Amino acid sequence: MAFGKNIRTFFEGKWHDGDVAIMRAADHGSWLGSTIFDGARHFDGVTPDLDKHCARANRSAEALMITPTMTDDEIMAIAREGLRAYGPGQAVYVRPMYWALDGNELGVGPKANSTGFALCLEEVAMPDPTIATTLTRTRFRRPVLEDSVCNAKAGCLYPNNARMLAEATAKGFGNALVADAMGNVAETATANVFMVKDGVAFTPISNGTFLAGITRARHISNLRADGVEVVEAVLSFEDFHAADEVFLSGNFAKVTPVKAFDDTQYQIGPVTRRARQLYWDWALSAGA
């Protein structure tokens, strides 16, 4: 199922128009889930942190024991080549992907140097920054590295995220605020999370149970450079109930304001608005 429209796909060394088939029935990735992806954003003529997203795609492949076939720079060059078909006013989701083609002797592990690669571009509008989401608790938790590939942006992690979202939406909320194995807040089902208390921004400390995102790191850097104190800390659900502001941080929307966590209500506050403005200022000035 296509995520957006106006799709272009790089596969087997050339660009194709549309949502082309890239996997076979017997590919390891098809039936054993050895898939990874990354996502960057192109908007207003810039593609912020594209180099970091391409590098993370290769790290994710290695974490799943898939042999990368492209260098970081080669993936970035392919993406930029494909983006030339879009206008500066078109917002595009940039998704490089790897998957294993063959299994090893026992079939379960991916075979070295047997890798599929594709890069998909889809026109997807940037979300309206004035529309806030809502959060609730979920019984599902983030895994740990000992039982899942938390250090990769891996497709096999997402059914757990989908369960979180399904539970949240069934309760009438937009997203789930998720705990790690210890019961502390890790992130949401789809993005990293920040809370603000008395003008100080807090975000869960990276503990290996979730990807501390590229956009998350950019917000931390931008806010600190602007004089806002940012603290990475162990945070509880009670901390979020006591917060003045909450916002999500992810590549897709960059900043998503939160207006409620269960029965706790928030306004779209000054730090949330500032984080978004700083991100756009940085992205456009950097000409990424």
**In Å, how far from its chain's centre is CA 26?**
28
**Is the same domain home to 113 and 172?**
no
Shared domain for 153 and 259, answered yes or no, is yes
Task: Give Cα separations from 105 to 62, 102, 254 (angstroms).
Answer: 19, 10, 43
pLDDT per position as a tens digit, 135-149: 999 999 999 999 999
Based on the domain organization, do 49 and 181 belong to the same domain?
no
Mean residue pLDDT across the chain: 96
Q: Residue 238: is its pLDDT beyond 70?
A: yes
Which residue among 68, 98, 123 closes a domain?
A: 123
Residue 56 lies in a domain: yes
Confidence of residue 256 (pLDDT cuts 50, 70, 90): very high
d(CA 271, CA 197): 10
Of 123, 149, 176, the residue at which a domain comes to its end is: 123
90 part of a folded domain:
yes
In this predicted structure, what is the pLDDT of residue 282?
97
Same domain, 13 and 56: yes
Same structural domain for residues 118 and 137?
Answer: no
CATH number reported for the structural domain that contains residue 113 in this entry: 3.30.470.10
In a domain, 112, yes or no: yes
DSSP letter for 101, please: -
**Which stretches of the chain are DSSP H helices?**
28-32, 50-63, 72-83, 158-170, 214-225, 237-241, 270-286
Length of the chain in residues, anyone? 288
Residue at 128 is within a domain: no
Interatomic CA distance for residues 271 and 247, integer angstroms:
9
Nearest 5°: phi and psi at 117?
Answer: -140, 140
Separation between Cα atoms, residue 245 and residue 269, nearest integer Å:
6
Res 287 pLDDT > 60: no
| 165 occurs within a structural domain | yes
Contacts of 169 (CB under 8 A, 6+ apart): none
The pLDDT value given to residue 286 = 74
Determine, yes or no, domain membership for 43.
yes
pLDDT score, position 107: 84
Give pLDDT, residue 1: 52
Start-to-end CA distance of the chain, whole Å, equals 30
Asked whether residue 58 is assigned to any structural domain, the reply reads yes
What is the rounded distance in angstroms from the CA atom of residue 159 to the CA atom of residue 165? 10
Same domain for 106 and 23? yes
Are 204 and 254 part of one and the same domain?
A: yes
CATH number at residue 174: 3.20.10.10
Query: What does the pLDDT average to over 243-250?
Result: 98
Domain count within the chain: 2
pLDDT digits over 83-127, tens only? 999 998 899 999 999 999 999 988 899 999 999 999 999 999 999
Residues 116 and 141 occupy one common structural domain: no
The set of residues, in sequence order, having a beta carbon less than 8 Å from that of 256 and lying 6+ positions away, is 127, 132, 133, 191, 247, 248, 249, 250
Same domain, 165 and 250: yes
Average pLDDT over residues 256-272: 98
Are 8 and 17 spatial neighbours (Cβ–Cβ below 8 Å)? yes
CB within 8 A of 12, min separation 6: which ones?
none
Q: Are 214 and 150 in contact (CB under 8 A)?
A: no
Domain containing 68 equals: 5-123
Q: 285 burial class (0-12, 13-18, 19+ CB within 10 angstroms)?
A: exposed
Do 117 and 248 share a domain, yes or no?
A: no
SS3 for 29? helix
Residues 142 and 210: their CA atoms lie apart, in Å, by 7
**Whether 78 and 143 share a structural domain:** no
Residue 17 lies in a domain: yes
pLDDT of res. 77: 98
Q: Which pTM value belongs to this model?
A: 0.95
Q: Write down which residue in 123, 148, 164 finishes a domain.
A: 123
Same structural domain, 176 and 239:
yes
123 backbone dihedrals φ, ψ, rounded to 5°: -75, 115
